Structure 1
Amino acid sequence: MKRIAIFASGSGTNAENIIEYFKSSRDIFVDSLWSNNEDAYALIRAEKLDVETFTFDKDDLYRSIEVLETLSDRKIDMIVLAGFLWLMPVNLTGEFTTINIHPALLPKYGGKGMYGRYVHEAVIKNKEKESGITIHYVNERYDSGSIIFQSKCPVVATDTPESLAERIHQLEYEHYPRVIEEVLLKEDDESDF
């Protein structure tokens, strides 16, 4: 059984979708949800779905090995970022496969400060014809890890950041759990050799 830890900073709709997706899986288990924001609605969503939650601050993440040790003790196989806004430390990305979803077609519209509404506003302002999602491995720089998967949607002349976000969210909900599953099961296949 592969074990996932989800990291989220905000409302947690992607986290909830991932938890629901794997609820009946015999191969993958969402072990826990972690947040750097003790007011994140993601924590409430996870608790309602019987997923254990943890909160931490910058010292816990960057200056101590407490988060690393707890994840190791829980035998986590993958960290999944679902709206987590801090840069992940190398001690975690070096120890655990870590993936993220970004609401644009990287390498465009990535980097520090490019998340949520800010991405959609930039895409519309620059009159892009399409946007989408990028699922990628996480490294020591924002949104620069190897791309695993992308899916596109049109940007129309009447789009607002909210209307574009709605189409992007649908792509996230459709593809993120499936890609997580594929990456984990592929790793499992490769470890059999």
Structure 2
Amino acid sequence: MHHFAHFLRFCAQKAGFMKKNIAILASGSGTNAENIIRYFQVKKSASVALVLTNRRDAFVLERARGLGVPYCFFPKDEWGHGGAILSVLEEHGVDFVVLAGFLARVPEAILHVYPGRIINIHPSLLPKFGGKGMYGNRVHEAVLAAGEVESGITIHYINEHYDEGDVIRQVRCLVLPEDTPEELACRIHALEYEVYPEVIEQLLSEIG
């Protein structure tokens, strides 16, 4: 019966009768996650069906609870092999996976099940200022220390290496001489909130 239900759901999606289901992976406060959830709450194309985190105290869980979105925490050892996570993704009928401030490596098992359906956003113009340990204000501090005159966001597919998947879209912004990391972060966040949900919606329309 379980597999038959999935088959019916697959047929309905192909016929255009059902929304796509998005899972968001996040490790921190979850402002991007909340923005995406709210964006799709008024859309017919998709909705956020699940929020997953690798940190028990991540505030994104409170945001998901307040917005009525199912959520799960998985400890570090369960992110290693991905089996339990895949089961939850399947249980919620997830079609597309979005990383929004997620700081753990995505298990290869999940990459294999969702080829071309897992994306991330990074707060710099990759390949500059990417890689393991480069997140949040660390990125903006590095941009300013390097004397860059522009920064921006990169939306990209996920592979087995940090921040090395194929680029989907980049959007640039100026770095001002008087910028602090916090001021640059505000400008970057504004780009993320505007662009990321739109790119997700566009990609969902292309996967059928």
TM-score range, shorter chain: over 0.9
Q: In structure 1, how many angstroms separate the alpha carbons of the residues matched to 2:175 and 2:52?
A: 33
SS in 2 for 1:151: strand
**Bigger CA radius of gyration:** 2
Amino acid at match of 1:27: S
Amino acid at match of 2:128: K
Partner of 1:105: 125
Partner of 2:112: 94
- Asked if structure 1 preserves the Cα contact closer than 8 Å seen for 2:82 and 2:109, the reply is no
- Asked if 1:171 is matched to 2:191, the reply is yes
- Asked if structure 1 preserves the Cα contact closer than 8 Å seen for 2:50 and 2:92, the reply is no
**Displacement, 1:64?**
5.1
**Displacement, 1:63?**
3.1
Which of 152, 155, 159 is residue 172 of structure 2 equivalent to?
A: 152
Listed as ranges, the gaps of 5+ residues in structure 1 are: 189-193
Would you say how many aligned residue pairs link Structure 1 and Structure 2?
188
Q: After superposition, where does 1:31-42 map in structure 2 within 5 Å?
A: 31-42=49-60
- The Cα offsets for residues 5-34 of structure 1, whole Å up to 9 and x where unpaired, read as 000000000000000000021110100110
Amino acid at match of 1:127: G
**Displacement, 1:175?**
0.2
Which of 140, 158, 162 is residue 138 of structure 1 equivalent to?
A: 158
Amino acid at match of 2:130: G
Listed as ranges, the gaps of 5+ residues in structure 2 are: 1-18
CA RMSD of aligned residues (A): 0.8
Amino acid at match of 2:150: E
Change (3 A) 1:139 1:64: closer
Partner of 2:205: 185
Which of 182, 185, 190 is residue 162 of structure 1 equivalent to?
A: 182
Q: Runs of at least 4 residues of structure 1 off by over 2 A? A: none
Amino acid at match of 2:138: Y
Amino acid at match of 1:136: H
Change (3 A) 1:172 1:104: same
So what's the TM-score if we normalise by structure 1? Answer: 0.95
Partner of 1:24: 42
So what's the TM-score if we normalise by structure 2? Answer: 0.89
Q: In structure 2, how many angstroms separate the alpha carbons of the residues matched to 1:63 and 1:146?
A: 24
Identity over the aligned pairs, expressed in percent? 52
Partner of 1:68: 86
Amino acid at match of 1:90: E
Partner of 1:11: 29
